[in-house]
Copies of this chain bind each other. A is one copy, B any other.
């Protein structure tokens, strides 16, 4: 393990901090920001590292420390025992340097300047706006062109190559990329777009990563990301995606990707959002055909065939994916202009409160879910999302796994037909190795109670 000690001189306006702010960041007491700031900074410093095991990485840098010094031209950051991978010839990579100051900016803003509202509703939407504006993400001088890419972190090589090709075609068309910061389908489109932008001499291409403190260590932003925002929690992060993005491409993934799809479909189904263009393409190479087939079957069976109005599935043909997104975004532009809505923030999109409110995956909450088919699609989709959220937690999130070990599998109630569809889909994901689970010894984290 190699370590580096260094002082980073500040550049630009951002690093003008008041004395109050410096002391908040360095405050190691309970309410202080030090630990949050230190850990997010360390995550970003590991962005060059090629490993999946975030915990191990962080343990390797227990002695890492970060300090702030007031100097003549602004605030200087001092790093102690920082990962050597972030440096070349003794100097930090500028990309990582920039991300480091993004961490500083967002942690300060959210915790020192913003009052985050307690309940769901318009005030949450205003808070998400405030954070994004402070991070300079909302640009008034450009037409709609931000494409959000979702999908799994551990995907097949051929699927990864495919995400790069789609990114390349998007980049050639002048479109920007926004992802959740990690590997796989989060990284491929950015790499591809970077080449597309270079061939177009586009020096203002945006590679926007939207993260949150809970996952930034596990999925450190790759150094191509040239705009990083750390939202305070997962709900605000999801809201940021759908308000900032002008179109969404979903690449293959696992149960988590299904959860994201259900979140978005749940929003699009809301009556207030009818008539609003929102380009949504499910795209993958030949190997992903079955995956999207199953999702399509599940969505139409549960929410009705009309749900297909909201998405399009494309296998292969990266240029066609990009062309479709481009055409869709042109409609978005027209619509926003006609409605006097901002290009840079989708104020008009109605997010139902049960999507905006966090769902805690406890046995009680999951047992209480109504998974019957004879309820309005808008209600059912919200419950389905919660069910998948619980399954994801029970499978891979630390707190969820502990809960299962202690109290046994979650109990899901509802129509047997619906419950079997869910079960069937998840089993096939496991067969396709789309979920990071111990294959030999897999015990489902849920039980179907008819």
Binding site for B on A (CB under 8 A): 10-13, 15-16, 18-20, 69-74, 88-89, 93-95, 98, 113, 122-123, 125-126, 129-130, 133, 136, 138-141, 172-173, 194-195, 198-203, 223-224, 226, 323, 326, 333, 336-337, 340-345, 347
B72 pairs with A340, CB closer than 8 A: yes
A-B contact pairs, 14 of them (CB 8 A): A16-B138, A16-B140, A18-B126, A19-B126, A20-B122, A70-B340, A70-B347, A71-B340, A72-B333, A72-B343, A95-B201, A113-B113, A198-B224, A201-B226
Question: Residue of B at shortest CB range from A172?
Answer: B88
B residues in contact with A72, CB < 8 Å: 333, 336-337, 340-343
User: Which 5 pairs show the lowest CB-CB distances between chains A and B?
Assistant: A74-B140, A94-B201, A199-B223, A94-B200, A88-B172
B347 pairs with A11, CB closer than 8 A: no
**Separation of A341 and B69 alpha carbons in the complex (Å):** 10
Indicate whether A18 sits within 8 Å of B172 (C-beta atoms), given known contacts A223-B199, A323-B89: no
B residues in contact with A198, CB < 8 Å: 95, 194, 223-224
A10 pairs with B140, CB closer than 8 A: yes
A199 pairs with B172, CB closer than 8 A: no
B347 pairs with A173, CB closer than 8 A: no
Question: Residue of B at shortest CB range from A92?
Answer: B200
Question: Which of B18, B19, B94, B140 meets A202, CB within 8 Å?
Answer: B94
B88 pairs with A18, CB closer than 8 A: no
A199 pairs with B226, CB closer than 8 A: no
Indicate whether A74 sits within 8 Å of B342 (C-beta atoms), given known contacts A20-B126, A89-B173, A140-B10: yes
B74 pairs with A13, CB closer than 8 A: no
**Separation of A341 and B71 alpha carbons in the complex (Å):** 5
Query: How far, in Å, is A396 (CB) from chain B's closest CB?
Result: 30
B residues in contact with A140, CB < 8 Å: 10-13, 15-16, 73-74
**Separation of A342 and B76 alpha carbons in the complex (Å):** 11
B residues in contact with A133, CB < 8 Å: 13, 16, 18
Query: How far, in Å, is A351 (CB) from chain B's closest CB?
Result: 14
**Separation of A93 and B203 alpha carbons in the complex (Å):** 14
Indicate whether A173 sits within 8 Å of B10 (C-beta atoms), given known contacts A72-B342, A200-B93, A336-B72: no
Query: How far, in Å, is A102 (CB) from chain B's closest CB?
Result: 13
**Separation of A203 and B197 alpha carbons in the complex (Å):** 12
B residues in contact with A139, CB < 8 Å: 13
B residues in contact with A19, CB < 8 Å: 122, 125-126, 347
Query: How far, in Å, is A100 (CB) from chain B's closest CB?
Result: 13
**Separation of A340 and B343 alpha carbons in the complex (Å):** 36
B residues in contact with A95, CB < 8 Å: 198-201
Question: Residue of B at shortest CB range from A196?
Answer: B88
Indicate whether A93 sits within 8 Å of B342 (C-beta atoms), given known contacts A10-B140, A11-B140, A347-B70: no
B residues in contact with A336, CB < 8 Å: 72
Question: Residue of B at shortest CB range from A136?
Answer: B13
